[in-house]
Each structure stands twice: as C-alpha cells, then as structure tokens.
Structure 1
Amino acid sequence: MNELAGIADRLPLTTQIQPASRPRTSEDLEDAVRDLTRHFTYLAYTVATRDRQAQRYPRRYTPQLREGTAALARAAKPTGRALASLGEAVTATGHLHHLARNRPGPEHADDLQHTLTVLDGHITRARTHLFTAARQLRADAHRLLATQTPVSPAALTTPGVPTAASSPRGHSR
C-alpha cells in the first residue's frame, strides 16, 4: 500500500508539466509504469497462488488468508485503472514529442496546450487511482488486524537455550 502511494507521490505535478520538461516527464512516467507493473503483477500472482493453495490445502486456507486475498484482488481494480491512465499519459507524451519535432503552424500553440492538459488529466487520474488503492489496502489491513484471532501467550514463548555449559565466546570450557 505504501509503495502505491509512493508511486503516486513521484508522478509529476501540473506545475511540473511543461513542453521544456517533456524528457523528464517521460522518464518519470517510465519509472512509474515499471514500478506499477511490478506491483500489479504481484497482486495477480498472489491472488493466483493463494487460489491454488486453497485448492490444494483447503484446511490450511484460513478465513484470514481468504480475506487478505480478497483485499488484494479488490486493490487490482484501481491499480489497473492507474496503469491504464499512465498508458494514456505515455501516449500524450508521445504526441508532445511529435509536436516538438514539427514546425510550428497556426494551431501549434493550441495543440500543444491541449496535449499538456490531456497529459495532466491522465496523470491526475493515475494519481487518484493509486491513492484509492493505497487507502483501500490500508483500510482492509486495519480491518483484518482488528478481527485477527489473538495468539495464545504459550505460542509466543520460545524454549530456553541452555547457557551454563557455554562461555561468553560460545565455546564450551
């Protein structure tokens, strides 16, 4: 959840998106897409793996694991939407690249401003979806922790390790 919010925080802000900053914006988007793809893959992998585990070991698959898996699956929706918005942002950045290489014509300034506005909209939507996924995961984690069955004190006790025969250096004398 913190990683998703971190990706959102690293996305360029409206005030940072200018024609002159296009290369930096492209690099920021590249990093965000790479990081978000890795997290989206983790969500899909974890849900699929836990589904296989539930089939193979139904008695070991606790209600808490089931709820945790459902929480990760729910986070896939806003995460996927963020990834789609970043895909649209990459397309807009490509259009900016094209505009920067063309000779300015009568509609060049309007085209440039429109593309910057579109790019900003896609980045803003991606940021919103990422924060939504992070908030949702955080709320699910708090809910799962609140309903978690407490561990008995006996389960937390570790067996003692005999120390009488050992020297401070760990060798027997």
Structure 2
Amino acid sequence: MNELAGIADRLPLAWQIHPAPRPSTSEDLEDAVRDLTRHFTYLAYTVASRDRQAQRYPARYTPQLREGTAALARAATPTGRALAALGEAVTAAGHLHHLTHSPPDPGHADDLQHTLIALNGHVTQARTQLFTAARQLRADAHRLLTTQTPPASAALTTLAVTAAPSSPRGRSR
C-alpha cells in the first residue's frame, strides 16, 4: 500500500509538465510503469498462488489468508486502472515529443495544448487510482489487523497502572 502511494507521489504534477517536456517527465512515467507493473504482477501472483494453496492444503488456508487474498484482489482494479492511465500518459508523452520536435504547422499550438491537457489528465487519473488502491489496502489491513487481535486477558485489564509524574515538582527529592 505504501509503495502504491509512493508511485503516485513520484508522478509529475500538472505544473511540472510543459510543452517542451523535460526529459525527466518521460523518465518519471517509465519508472512509474515499471514499478506499478511489478506491484500489479505481485497482486496477480499472490491471488493465484493462494488459490493453489487453498486447493492443495485446505486445512491450512485460514480465514485470515482468505480475507487478505480478497483484499489484494480488490486492489487489482484501481491498480490496473492506474496502469492503463499510465499507458495513455506514455502515448500522450510520445505525441508531445513528436510535436515539440516537429516544425510547427497550422493548428500546432492547439494540438500541443490538447496533448498537454490529455497528458495531465492521464497522470492525474493514474495518481487518483493509485491513492485509491493504497487507501483501500490500508483500510483492509486495518480491518484485518483489528479483527485478528486477540482480546487481552482479564488479569491484565484489571491491574491499575500508576503513571510517573511528568514534571520534576511531583518527584521526591
């Protein structure tokens, strides 16, 4: 979940994308696609391997594993949408590259502006989907952790704990 949010944070912001793109815009997209593909592959692999595990060792496939697998599977949808948006962003970045390295013709300025808007929209959509996936995974992890926490024993909950004074005035000399 933190990795997905980290990928989103590393994507260029709208004000960082210009008609004459800095080389790092395409490199940022390349890095994001590579990282996101790795994470998307992890999601698919984990779901498939846990399915095999459940079939081979049904007694070992606990409700926690089943719920964790379902949480990872749910994250695949926004992660896949983010990957698709990054694919569109790469296409727009390629068109922007073409426009900035071609002699201007009629409609060049409009095409350039349209391409910038499209590129920004795709990057923003990818960022939104990545944050959605990260938020969803975080909520699922929190829910799974709180439902798995064993209750404290009665002996531990009935003991009174006195706090030490926090200021020097309350301490004996």
Shared fold per TM-score greater than 0.5: yes
Matches of 2:106 and 2:22, distance apart in 1:
22
Amino acid at match of 1:130: L
Amino acid at match of 1:19: P
CA deviation after TM superposition for structure 1 residue 21, in Å: 2.7
In the alignment, what sits opposite 1:71?
71
CA deviation after TM superposition for structure 1 residue 151, in Å: 8.7
Matches of 1:91 and 1:27, distance apart in 2:
13
CA deviation after TM superposition for structure 1 residue 145, in Å: 0.5
The answer to whether the aligner puts 1:16 opposite 2:32 as a matched pair is no
| 8 Å contact kept, 2:21–2:97 | no
CA deviation after TM superposition for structure 1 residue 95, in Å: 0.4
| 8 Å contact kept, 1:22–1:93 | no
- The gaps in structure 2 that reach 5 residues or longer are 154-173
3-state SS in 1 of match to 2:20:
helix
In the alignment, what sits opposite 2:6?
6
Give me the identity figure in percent: 83
The answer to whether the aligner puts 1:145 opposite 2:162 as a matched pair is no
In the alignment, what sits opposite 2:126?
126
Matches of 2:149 and 2:137, distance apart in 1:
20
CA deviations 1:142-161 (Å, max 9, x no partner) are: 000011052999xxxxxxxx
Matches of 1:132 and 1:87, distance apart in 2:
18
| 8 Å contact kept, 2:4–2:36 | yes
CA deviation after TM superposition for structure 1 residue 20, in Å: 2.4
Matches of 2:68 and 2:143, distance apart in 1:
10
Amino acid at match of 1:144: L
Amino acid at match of 2:121: G
Aligned residues: 153
Matches of 1:33 and 1:126, distance apart in 2:
10
CA deviations 1:27-60 (Å, max 9, x no partner) are: 0000000000000000000000000000000000
TM-score by length of 2: 0.85
Matches of 1:66 and 1:93, distance apart in 2:
40
Amino acid at match of 1:94: G
Q: How does 1:7-156 map to 2 (within 5 A)?
A: 7-148=7-148, 150=150
Matches of 1:138 and 1:38, distance apart in 2:
19
CA deviation after TM superposition for structure 1 residue 94, in Å: 0.6
| 8 Å contact kept, 2:26–2:93 | yes
| 8 Å contact kept, 2:20–2:100 | no
Q: 1:152 to 1:57 in 2, by over 3 A?
A: farther
- The gaps in structure 1 that reach 5 residues or longer are 154-173
Amino acid at match of 1:78: P
TM-score by length of 1: 0.85
